[in-house]
Copies of this chain bind each other. A is one copy, B any other.
């Protein structure tokens, strides 16, 4: 199916999706966060084909998101654990879950709720500004060129965008 790679794009979203945007990958990671570690456990729980599971676990390991740890010799068996890089994907899964809880339950109740250990309460993840702690949403955020922005790409975006004022750097 010769899928195009996003990894050469000059964009953190694209580069992230190039790794974890493949079919099944985020569901595998969800299961890891739930405590699933072993090949057969992933396979039976997800109903994924062995070939694809092998492929995805190899990719995630190669990218340093999971690491293989032996849990027995003879025969040698490994389990897959999250690295720090992998654990740092937790907010991505929480965001996906929060959206699904709001928009995709089809009238059913929410299957999973998280408890925040530090305060002991059931929690809803909230996205807030690192500076003022106010809520962040699509309406109160404005993209601006970062230090690594390329002038050529900015020009292109301004040209095709409906609002050319976006991406003006008036910091």
B17, B47, B121: which contacts A27 (Cβ < 8 A)? B17
- Give every chain B residue within 8 A of A95 (Cβ-Cβ): 91-92, 94-95
B89, B126, B171: which contacts A99 (Cβ < 8 A)? B89
B109, B125, B138, B166: which contacts A130 (Cβ < 8 A)? B125
- Give every chain B residue within 8 A of A121 (Cβ-Cβ): 129, 131-132
Interface size in chain A (residues, C-beta < 8 A): 103
The answer to whether the Cβ of A96 comes within 8 Å of any Cβ in the partner chain is yes
Q: Is the CB of B137 within 8 A of A105?
A: no
Q: Is the CB of A144 within 8 A of B12?
A: no
The answer to whether the Cβ of A133 comes within 8 Å of any Cβ in the partner chain is yes
- Give every chain B residue within 8 A of A119 (Cβ-Cβ): 129, 131-132, 134
Q: Is the CB of A129 within 8 A of B141?
A: no
- Quick one: CB contact mask for A6-36 with B, threshold 8 Å, 1 for yes? 1000111111110101110011001001111
Q: Is the CB of A138 within 8 A of B27?
A: no
The answer to whether the Cβ of A73 comes within 8 Å of any Cβ in the partner chain is no
